[in-house]
């Protein structure tokens, strides 16, 4: 089944809950309403023509500059019996992102959702074990967000160079940290 | 001991007048001292041999820098271990922690008291020699459990428990296999057992009642591997699972003692196997027994024991290790029934033919020599094949 | 929005276990955990009742870095994820960005990429199978396999100057052309590998009865569980599912090569055991060697082009997103790249690493095993913590 047929089937079953789609993208996707994602996931797995029995990737993306500011959760699905792929997207408001979990449909979503929670702060309601996975247990905040700034200290350790050091380096002074200098990234691009 | 006693009184006539306890003490201490040193210096050679043998099997060179061809490597390691800080973790049971290595080392050195290196070259010829050896080599188990418990470390405890289960389980087939030899020799004394194998290769107990005694030898050797905690039975010190098993928390000199005990235990098993099955200090042919006035018995026994040590090292670097329940399975369900059957059958056969099947002298040793021949021919062909391939590829 | 830290969630409390159970920590430092991985085991004697892996000790913020450097600058970061098989990582990323930008590389570059990827596959499986043997206790095959891996790394050093982390696959090409004499050197290596190393490996390790006894009955992953938890690559093929991206969704000209997909067939036990996964890896080395023979022949027949001719001066894809997957030695490596069309930096790069998903099934497979089997299970999943933690 190609992307158009998959989209048609989803629209046939769920109608208004499929709120958008982009079938010309390199990885075609359909946008699903937040509350319906779990039943859409169950349908995708159970329907014999779709048969999306594998969740390839679950990614969270942060869009603070959109209006309204939103986060997306992208589900990339693969069907082993049929061989086709498709993506589902969910848009959640950025200030309180909450998505129903799909870990009961695809077991691997357990860890993927933990990672999205850890790095972006998206809460997956109904998750059996939502806790941090990559960052230390007592880390505060969600660093992959676009508006993230590093804290000054973590458990008594300096997290980054002090602002004074950073200012001096951006001004062109060579700040040596051992044998390496601090040169601002992308300084060679005249953009 | 009587030998030393006689030697001392012969060399120093004045000594005969000393009080008897002095003579007894000297007669006991001097052989013990000599044996202890001789055996204690063994690990220096075995560690180097292990590193070189494993290196050549793994297509690399091994120690090459310390001394010519790395010959002084073990001495350097021993000196390093002597000077290393002995770390005592916070929660250890001090007394047990310190005593455990001593017990393990003692347990591995004691069997050498009865190993005969010649007709009179033996520390003490106990008339319960075999019984003494198997009793005393179990002393190491106590030490291992103490080490594991005292370390206040769950991994060490695991290693100790596994080790205890393993050694205790493999004691039984080991002793049963020894019983066959004892029945044939009619005595527990190691000197008598060796005497029963006099006359050359065909008289060795390994070749009697062919194929029953070879099976007994293999059973004893396998059980002995398990007693030394060598691969494939090295679960107690499984390096990749338990870091270092029961001796995880030991460092410096105490670790050196455990290390020493392991290689000495290998030497014990090999020596006992050589004495019981491979003819002890007898040469394969009586004419090779002595060069002029110099008896070569000790040399032959050493050669046999070293060959068995080589086989142990060979097995270590070839085979993976067995899991602990598979290990128990091998001990209780494979080796134990075999050894029981052997004891019963050999016991019956001894009544009819005390010295072995009448056709043994033509069957046993030729078959074994032919097998050894195949093995050697195979190895030579493999080496020359790989040399030829290398030349071809470089062309 | 602060995340609440509840200590009880993160570690079992000694008070909540039964009296004869023990909490054992296979800590971040352990000889057999293939990296910094912490596994909390709740054991009843030697039998494991529950296992909880803790990852994140090697988290180096790859995804955040990728947002702060330009597209070609991400490639060195991708190398460092799965540091045992770097060529595969940069290949996946470069192909993803090329697809996003619509760049087609010449057949010559494609063949180079295939040669390098398959050599890397052999090297990576050498490490995987060798260290697995070492974990089981067979020390010697590890050194024999590493000897061959050294030869491969010498070839790589000759080509691009680096032994482990290459920065080789660029967007639109590769960083260095193959040097003069590379086909001959590659063929020499393959000759030795095919004639000596691979048969010895099969006899010494794979056919060894003790090895089979240790691995053939444990860690059985049934197919529905494997698919649900996204086991891919040799892990999935070990359970008998004949899926290989090089055949199902070919990239880089893989459709032109003739090779077989190795499957676990349950030779000595149930299908999907640790032995099967390991056997698939061992056999894949022979298949890679097959591909390499064909690729080197094709290389000599193909017209040489400049490897930098399609590399754009500035990589600035139009707005869009793509999820691109390749068959890395450890499984299906997926890159989800979101480009916003306005900057030279990617907007979002999400990596789906095969070891991450393989590890997610660990706590299910580990129940009921013995501690020695836990080691065997970790080794059979072939995890590299750099890829799990990114």
| pLDDT one-digit tens code per residue, C58-83 | 999 999 999 999 999 999 999 999 99
Based on its alpha-carbon atoms, the radius of gyration of chain C, rounded to whole angstroms, reads: 21
- Interface check for A147 against chain C (CB to CB < 8 A): the answer is no
Phi, psi dihedrals of residue A61, rounded to the nearest 5°: -130, 145
Same domain, B134 and B280: yes
Q: Give per-residue pLDDT as tens, A61-107.
A: 999 988 888 999 999 999 999 889 999 999 999 888 999 999 999 99
Comparing CB atoms, the residue among C63, C227, C325 nearest residue A144 is C63
Q: Residue C184: is it exposed, middle or buried by C-beta count within 10 angstroms (0-12/13-18/19+)? A: exposed
Q: What is the pLDDT of residue A150?
A: 83
- CA A11 to chain centroid, in Å, comes to 24
Phi, psi dihedrals of residue A58, rounded to the nearest 5°: -125, 115
Comparing B201 with C54, the larger pLDDT belongs to: C54
Contact at CB, A142 and C3, closer than 8 angstroms: yes
**Inside any domain, residue B263:** yes
User: Per-residue confidence at C18, pLDDT binned at 50, 70, 90?
Assistant: low
Based on its alpha-carbon atoms, the radius of gyration of chain B, rounded to whole angstroms, reads: 22
**Domain of residue B226, residue span:** 84-358
**Inside any domain, residue B32:** no
A181 has a pLDDT exceeding 60: no
How many CA atoms are closer than 13 Å to the CA of C333, on its beta-carbon side?
A: 26
> What CATH number should be reported for the domain holding residue C271?
1.10.645.10
Contact at CB, C348 and A80, closer than 8 angstroms: no
Number of domains in chain C: 2
Same domain, B316 and B384: no
The length of chain A is: 191
Q: What is the DSSP string of C269-336?
A: SSTTSHHHHHHHHHHHHHHHHHHHHHHHHHHHHSPP--TTTT--SS--PPSEEEEEEEEETTEEEEEE
Q: Residue A35: is it exposed, middle or buried by C-beta count within 10 angstroms (0-12/13-18/19+)? A: exposed
Which of C139, C199, C374 is best to mutate for the B interface (most B CBs within 10 A)?
C139
Find out whether B240 and C31 touch, Cβ atoms under 8 Å.
yes
Contact at CB, B240 and C32, closer than 8 angstroms: yes
**Inside any domain, residue C2:** no
Most confident range (mean pLDDT) of B129-143, B223-237, C7-21, C79-93 is C79-93
Contact at CB, A74 and C241, closer than 8 angstroms: no
Which residues fall within 8 angstroms of residue C128, CB to CB, at 6 or more apart? C84, C278, C281, C329, C379, C382
Q: What is the pLDDT of residue B241?
A: 58
Same domain, C38 and C83: no
Find out whether C282 and C379 touch, Cβ atoms under 8 Å.
no
Number of domains in chain A: 1
- Interface check for A141 against chain C (CB to CB < 8 A): the answer is yes
Give the span between the Cα atoms of B361 and C201, in whole angstroms: 41
Scan for tokens 């960052």, then name that residue.
A135
Which of B59, B158, B240 is best to mutate for the C interface (most C CBs within 10 A)?
B240
Nearest chain C residue to B330 by CA: give it: C210
User: Which residues share a beta bridge with C333?
Assistant: C326
- CA B178 to chain centroid, in Å, comes to 14
Mean pLDDT of C35-61: 88
Q: What is the pLDDT of residue C183?
A: 93
Helix-then-strand count for chain B, H and E: 14, 2
Q: What is the pLDDT of residue A189?
A: 61
Give the span between the Cα atoms of B243 and B256, in whole angstroms: 17
Contact at CB, C372 and B59, closer than 8 angstroms: no
Same domain, C147 and C25: no
Same domain, C31 and C150: no
C300 has a pLDDT exceeding 70: yes
Same domain, B157 and B298: yes
What are the strands, taking DSSP E only, across chain A? 18-22, 29-32, 54-63, 70-78, 85-93, 98-100, 123-125, 153-154, 157-158, 176-177, 180-181
Same domain, C21 and C108: no
Q: What is the pLDDT of residue A102?
A: 92
Residues of A in contact with C9 (CB under 8 A): 129, 131
Q: Give per-residue pLDDT as tens, C107-154.
A: 999 999 999 999 999 999 999 999 998 888 888 899 999 999 999 999
User: Per-residue confidence at B367, pLDDT binned at 50, 70, 90?
Assistant: confident
Same domain, C385 and C362: yes
B355 has a pLDDT exceeding 50: yes
B118 has a pLDDT exceeding 90: no
Same domain, C144 and C267: yes
Q: What is the pLDDT of residue A31?
A: 92
Whether the ω angle into residue B232 lies within 30 degrees of 0, i.e. cis, is: yes
Same domain, C28 and C99: no
Same domain, B140 and B237: yes
- Scan residues 125-164 of C and list those with Cβ closer than 8 Å to A: none
- Scan residues 37-66 of C and list those with Cβ closer than 8 Å to A: 55-56, 59, 61, 63-64
Mapped onto helix, strand or coil, the DSSP state of residue A8 is: helix
Same domain, B267 and B385: no
Comparing A102 with C1, the larger pLDDT belongs to: A102
- With contact defined as 3+ CB pairs under 8 Å, the chains touching C are A, B
Find out whether C303 and C166 touch, Cβ atoms under 8 Å.
no
How many CA atoms are closer than 13 Å to the CA of C109, on its beta-carbon side?
A: 24
How many CA atoms are closer than 13 Å to the CA of C97, on its beta-carbon side?
A: 34
- Helix H or strand E segment including B109: helix B94-109
Q: What's the DSSP call for residue B126?
A: -
Give this complex's ipTM. 0.89
C267 has a pLDDT exceeding 60: yes
User: Per-residue confidence at B395, pLDDT binned at 50, 70, 90?
Assistant: low
- Interface check for C127 against chain B (CB to CB < 8 A): the answer is no
Same domain, B325 and B371: no
How far off is chain A from C303, nearest CA to CA, in Å?
31
Mapped onto helix, strand or coil, the DSSP state of residue B114 is: coil
A190 has a pLDDT exceeding 60: no
Which region, left, alpha or beta, applies to residue B3 given φ > 0 means left and ψ of -120 to 50 means alpha? Answer: alpha
Find out whether B228 and B104 touch, Cβ atoms under 8 Å.
no
Same domain, C41 and C99: no
Same domain, B388 and B328: no
Contact at CB, C204 and B318, closer than 8 angstroms: yes
Number of domains in chain B: 2
Contact at CB, B320 and C32, closer than 8 angstroms: no
User: Per-residue confidence at C4, pLDDT binned at 50, 70, 90?
Assistant: very low
Mean pLDDT of B72-101: 86
Give the span between the Cα atoms of B126 and B114, in whole angstroms: 7
According to DSSP H, which parts of B137-252 are helical?
139-150, 154-185, 190-195, 212-227
Other CB atoms within a 10 A radius of the CB of residue A44 amount to: 26
**Inside any domain, residue C36:** yes
- Report percent pLDDT > 70 for chain B: 93
**Inside any domain, residue C206:** yes
- Helix H or strand E segment including A117: helix A109-120
Contact at CB, C208 and B326, closer than 8 angstroms: no
**Inside any domain, residue B39:** no
Same domain, C135 and C43: no
| Chains A and B touch each other (3 or more Cβ pairs < 8 A) | no
User: Per-residue confidence at C5, pLDDT binned at 50, 70, 90?
Assistant: very low
Same domain, C189 and C41: no
User: Which tokens is B146 given?
Assistant: 């103490």
Mean pLDDT of B76-84: 89
Same domain, B198 and B287: yes
User: Per-residue confidence at B358, pLDDT binned at 50, 70, 90?
Assistant: confident
Nearest chain A residue to C354 by CA: give it: A56
Nearest chain C residue to A104 by CA: give it: C228
**Domain of residue C73, residue span:** 64-389
**Inside any domain, residue C59:** no
- Interface check for C231 against chain B (CB to CB < 8 A): the answer is no
Contact at CB, A54 and C227, closer than 8 angstroms: yes
Contact at CB, B393 and C46, closer than 8 angstroms: no
Exposure string for B257-279, b = 16+ CB within 10 A, e = fewer: bbbbbbbbbbbbbbbbbbbbbbb
Same domain, B244 and B372: no
Mean pLDDT of B47-59: 89
Which residues fall within 8 angstroms of residue B272, CB to CB, at 6 or more apart? B111, B115, B133, B224
**Domain of residue A65, residue span:** 3-140
Q: What is the pLDDT of residue B291?
A: 77
**Inside any domain, residue C125:** yes
Q: What is the pLDDT of residue C353?
A: 93
pTM of the predicted protein model = 0.86
Give the span between the Cα atoms of B175 and B183, in whole angstroms: 12
Residues of B in contact with C214 (CB under 8 A): 320-323, 326
Contact at CB, B240 and C46, closer than 8 angstroms: no
Comparing CB atoms, the residue among A76, A83, A138 nearest residue C323 is A76
User: Which tokens is C279 given?
Assistant: 């056997």
In whole numbers, what is the pLDDT of chain A averaged over residues? 85
Same domain, B113 and B204: yes
User: Per-residue confidence at C9, pLDDT binned at 50, 70, 90?
Assistant: low
β-pair type (A123-125, A98-100): parallel
Q: What is the DSSP string of B187-199?
A: -S-HHHHHHTTTT
Phi, psi dihedrals of residue C334, rounded to the nearest 5°: -115, 135
Mean pLDDT of B20-26: 78
A38 has a pLDDT exceeding 80: yes
Same domain, B276 and B384: no
Residues of B with CB under 8 A from a CB of C: 54, 57-60, 154-155, 158, 231-232, 234-235, 238-241, 243, 316-326, 386, 389, 393
β-pair type (A18-22, A29-32): antiparallel
In whole numbers, what is the pLDDT of chain C averaged over residues? 88
Scan for tokens 């030899």, then name that residue.
B181
Comparing B243 with B2, the larger pLDDT belongs to: B2
Comparing CB atoms, the residue among C46, C135, C373 nearest residue B240 is C135
User: Per-residue confidence at C92, pLDDT binned at 50, 70, 90?
Assistant: very high
- Interface check for C208 against chain B (CB to CB < 8 A): the answer is yes
Give the span between the Cα atoms of C287 and B332, in whole angstroms: 43
Mean pLDDT of B29-57: 88
Q: What is the pLDDT of residue C309?
A: 87
Which of C210, C215, C374 is best to mutate for the B interface (most B CBs within 10 A)?
C210
**Inside any domain, residue A48:** yes
Q: What is the pLDDT of residue C2?
A: 33
User: Which tokens is B280 given?
Assistant: 């002890």
**Inside any domain, residue B29:** no
Give the span between the Cα atoms of C302 and C299, in whole angstroms: 5
**Nearest of C373, C363, C381, C128 to residue B238 by alpha carbon:** C373
User: Which tokens is C389 given?
Assistant: 């933690």
User: Which residues share a beta bridge with A54?
Assistant: A78
**Inside any domain, residue B34:** no
Instruction: Give the distance between the most distant pair of CA atoms in chain A.
Output: 64
> What CATH number should be reported for the domain holding residue A20?
3.30.460.80
- Scan residues 110-139 of A and list those with Cβ closer than 8 Å to C: 110-111, 119, 121, 129, 131-139
Q: What is the pLDDT of residue C3?
A: 36
Residues of B in contact with C143 (CB under 8 A): 58-60
**Inside any domain, residue A129:** yes
Whether the ω angle into residue C348 lies within 30 degrees of 0, i.e. cis, is: no
Same domain, B301 and B387: no
β-pair type (A176-177, A157-158): unpaired
Comparing CB atoms, the residue among B58, B234, B319 nearest residue C144 is B58
* Edge-to-edge strand list for the sheet holding C348-352: C320-328, C331-339, C348-352
Mean pLDDT of C214-242: 91
**Inside any domain, residue A126:** yes
Q: What is the pLDDT of residue C28?
A: 84
Q: Residue A134: is it exposed, middle or buried by C-beta count within 10 angstroms (0-12/13-18/19+)? A: buried
Same domain, C319 and C231: yes
Scan for tokens 């056919």, then name that residue.
C207
Contacts 24+ apart (CB under 8 A), A149-152: none
């Amino acid at each position: 089944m190609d992307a158009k047929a998959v989209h048609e089937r989803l629209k046939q079953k769920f109608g208004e809950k499929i709120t958008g789609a982009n079938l010309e993208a390199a990885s075609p996707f359909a946008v699903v309403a937040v509350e319906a994602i779990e039943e859409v996931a169950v349908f995708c797995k159970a329907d014999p023509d779709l048969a999306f029995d594998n969740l390839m990737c679950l990614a969270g993306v942060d869009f603070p500059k959109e209006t309204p500011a939103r986060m997306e959760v992208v589900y990339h699905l693969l069907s082993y019996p049929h061989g086709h792929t498709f993506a589902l997207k969910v848009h959640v408001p950025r200030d309180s992102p909450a998505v129903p979990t799909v870990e009961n449909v695809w077991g691997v979503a357990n860890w993927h959702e933990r990672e999205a929670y850890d790095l972006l702060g998206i809460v997956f309601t109904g998750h059996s074990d939502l806790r941090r996975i990559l960052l230390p247990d007592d880390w505060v905040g969600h660093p992959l967000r676009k508006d993230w700034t590093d804290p000054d200290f973590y458990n008594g350790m300096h997290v980054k160079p002090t602002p004074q050091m950073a200012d001096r380096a951006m001004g062109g002074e060579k700040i040596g940290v051992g044998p390496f200098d601090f040169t601002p990234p992308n300084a060679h691009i005249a953009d | 001991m009587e030998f030393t006693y006689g030697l001392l009184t012969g060399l120093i006539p004045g000594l005969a007048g000393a009080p008897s306890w002095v003579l007894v003490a000297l007669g006991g201490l001097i052989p013990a001292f000599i044996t202890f040193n001789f055996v204690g210096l063994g690990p220096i050679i075995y560690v180097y041999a292990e590193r070189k043998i494993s290196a050549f099997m793994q297509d690399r060179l091994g120690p090459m820098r310390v001394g010519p061809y790395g010959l002084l490597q073990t001495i350097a390691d021993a000196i390093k271990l002597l000077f290393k800080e002995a770390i005592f973790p916070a929660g250890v049971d001090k007394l047990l922690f310190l005593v455990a290595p001593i017990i393990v080392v003692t347990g591995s050195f004691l069997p050498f008291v009865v190993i005969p290196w010649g007709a009179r070259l033996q520390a003490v010829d106990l008339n319960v020699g075999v019984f003494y050896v198997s009793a005393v080599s179990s002393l190491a188990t106590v030490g291992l459990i103490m080490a594991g418990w005292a370390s206040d470390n769950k991994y060490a405890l695991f290693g100790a428990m596994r080790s205890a289960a393993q050694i205790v389980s493999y004691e039984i087939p080991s002793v049963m296999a020894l019983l066959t030899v004892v029945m044939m020799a009619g005595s527990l004394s190691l000197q008598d057992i060796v005497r029963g194998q006099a006359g050359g290769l065909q008289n060795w107990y390994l070749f009697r009642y062919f194929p029953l005694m070879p099976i007994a030898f293999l059973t004893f050797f396998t059980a002995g591997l398990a007693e030394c905690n060598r691969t494939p039975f090295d679960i107690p010190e499984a390096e990749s699972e338990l870091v270092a098993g029961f001796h995880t928390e030991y460092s410096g000199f105490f670790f050196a003692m455990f290390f020493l005990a392991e290689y000495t235990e290998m030497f014990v098993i090999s020596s006992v196997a050589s004495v019981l099955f491979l003819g002890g200090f007898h040469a394969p042919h009586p004419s090779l027994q002595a060069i002029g006035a110099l008896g070569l018995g000790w040399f032959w026994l050493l050669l046999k024991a070293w060959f068995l040590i080589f086989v142990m090292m060979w097995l270590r670097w070839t085979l993976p290790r067995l899991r602990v329940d598979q290990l128990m399975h091998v001990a209780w369900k494979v080796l134990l029934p075999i050894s029981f059957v052997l004891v019963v059958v050999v016991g019956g056969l001894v009544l009819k033919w005390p010295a072995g099947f009448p056709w043994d002298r033509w069957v046993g040793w030729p078959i074994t020599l032919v097998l050894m021949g195949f093995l050697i021919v195979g190895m030579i062909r493999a080496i020359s094949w790989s040399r030829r391939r290398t030349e071809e590829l470089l062309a | 929005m602060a995340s609440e830290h509840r200590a009880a969630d993160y570690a079992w409390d000694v008070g909540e276990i039964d009296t004869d159970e023990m909490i054992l920590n296979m800590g971040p430092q352990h000889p057999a955990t293939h990296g910094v991985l912490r596994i909390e085991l709740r054991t009843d004697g030697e039998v494991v009742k529950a296992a909880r892996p803790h990852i994140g000790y090697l988290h180096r913020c790859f995804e955040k870095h990728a947002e702060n450097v330009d597209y070609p600058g991400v490639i060195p970061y991708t190398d460092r994820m799965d540091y045992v098989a770097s060529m595969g990582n940069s290949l996946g990323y470069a192909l993803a960005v090329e697809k996003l930008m619509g760049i087609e590389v010449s057949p010559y570059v494609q063949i180079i990429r295939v040669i390098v990827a398959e050599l890397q596959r052999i090297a990576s499986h050498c490490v995987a199978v060798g260290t697995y043997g070492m974990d089981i206790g067979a020390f010697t095959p590890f050194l024999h396999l590493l000897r061959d891996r050294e030869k491969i790394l010498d070839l790589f050093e000759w080509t691009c100057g680096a032994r482990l982390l290459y920065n080789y696959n660029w967007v639109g090409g590769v960083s260095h052309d193959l040097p003069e004499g590379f086909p001959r050197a590659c063929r020499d290596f393959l000759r030795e590998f095919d004639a000596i190393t691979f048969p010895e490996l099969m006899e010494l390790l794979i056919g060894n009865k003790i090895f089979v006894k240790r691995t053939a009955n444990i860690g059985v992953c049934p197919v529905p569980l494997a698919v649900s938890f996204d086991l891919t690559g040799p892990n999935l093929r070990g359970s008998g599912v004949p899926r290989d991206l090089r055949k199902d969704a070919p990239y880089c000209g893989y459709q032109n090569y003739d090779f077989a997909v190795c499957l676990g067939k349950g030779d000595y036990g149930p299908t999907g055991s640790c032995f099967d996964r390991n056997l698939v890896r061992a056999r894949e080395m022979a298949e890679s060697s097959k591909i390499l023979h064909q690729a080197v022949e094709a290389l000599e027949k193909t017209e040489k082009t400049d490897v930098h001719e399609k590399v754009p001066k500035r990589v600035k894809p139009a707005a869009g997103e793509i999820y691109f997957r390749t068959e890395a030695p450890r499984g299906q490596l997926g890159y989800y790249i979101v480009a916003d069309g306005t900057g030279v930096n990617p907007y979002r790069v999400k990596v789906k690493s095969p070891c991450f998903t393989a590890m997610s099934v660990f706590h299910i497979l580990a129940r009921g095993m013995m501690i020695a089997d836990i080691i065997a299970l970790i080794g059979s999943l072939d995890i590299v913590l750099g890829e799990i933690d990114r």
